[in-house]
Amino acid sequence: MKTDTNFFSRLYNSKDQLWTLIWITGILSLGIWDMVFLNKPAFNKVITGFFNTFTIAFIVAVFTLFLGWMITIALNFTERMKNRVPFLMLMFFLNIIRSVPQIVGVLIAYVIIAQAATRGTFKSGFTIFPAMGIAMSLFIVIELVDLMRERIDHFKKLDFYNAMRVCGISESRIINFHILWKNSRLHIFNKLISIFGSAVFLQCSVDFIISVGLSSDVNSVMLPSTLGSLLAKIDSKQDILAIGSIFTNPSYITNLFTLHLQGITVAFLIVFSLYCVYAISNGFAERHRL
């Protein structure tokens, strides 16, 4: 009994682990409910959209990590060169990306990818995933680059950096191993959690805009089905609009979770997942005192 009490006490104090458990439990509970009350074609659409959305978001986080690390190392190397042109050109490129709103940049990139898919460049939905991940990471990576550069600049001001240089340790090892890995990996991982949530939000927003702005079938043909594109479907929009009927007929609320389940499920998955990712990120920072 004491062991169970300690377990729940530790879980409550570790908000990131608690919210991860809440998120997984909520998704599984919703899946069981949908298996019972949602028709099979709609259920398969929701599963596919959920899988595609979070697979692409994970790819974005991975690409952002490697791209952010490469840009950070390139900036650190070119900044020490006598010829400042490469550093200034790289900073100019990053400032251009920084000046473009993320949702606008991702929207433009998705349109280009959709056109490439129409021409047959991508043979399947899975081959589009890396392209979508790279496109989205280009407009998110600045956040990670800023964090890594802040960590490097912070540790360069400390005595241990000069001491290691005096001992003959190469600067690349100091930056990559001692600063970014040993002393900053928790900060970087926490940022990647936030980037994962940002990728889900951007992806759903852009897919919704494309589906609504062009036609209800454009996304299913050109881009993989995601939660954002499912939310733009006419049946999902009708399900969402049905929520307004409970204000005039409160007894109709019971029908929302059976007759209008697809749209409510998709909307719940987006909102619930985004909130959980936000809570996990905050809980992780709190637990590790970042």
Higher pLDDT, 195 or 217: 195
Tokens of 217: 């079938």
Express each pLDDT in 200-209 by its tens digit: 999 988 888 8
| CB-CB contact of 18 with 283 (8 Å) | yes
**Residue 249 DSSP one-character state:** -
Q: State pTM to two decimals.
A: 0.88
All domains in the chain, ordered by first residue: 16-287 (1.10.3720.10)
With a cut of 70, say whether residue 289 has pLDDT above it: yes
Tokens at residue 64, please? 């952002």
Of the listed ranges 1-5, 9-13, 94-98, 123-127, the least confidently predicted one is 1-5
The answer to whether residue 197 scores a pLDDT higher than 90 is yes
Q: Which of 278, 285, 289 is nearest to 201 (CA)?
A: 278
In the structure encoding, which two tokens stand for residue 175, read together? 């930056």
pLDDT digits (tens, 9 = 90+) for 53-87: 999 999 999 999 999 999 999 998 888 888 888 88
Distance CA 290, CA 285 (A): 5
Kindly tell me if the per-residue pLDDT of 219 is higher than 60. no
Is the predicted pLDDT of residue 125 greater than 70, yes or no? Answer: no
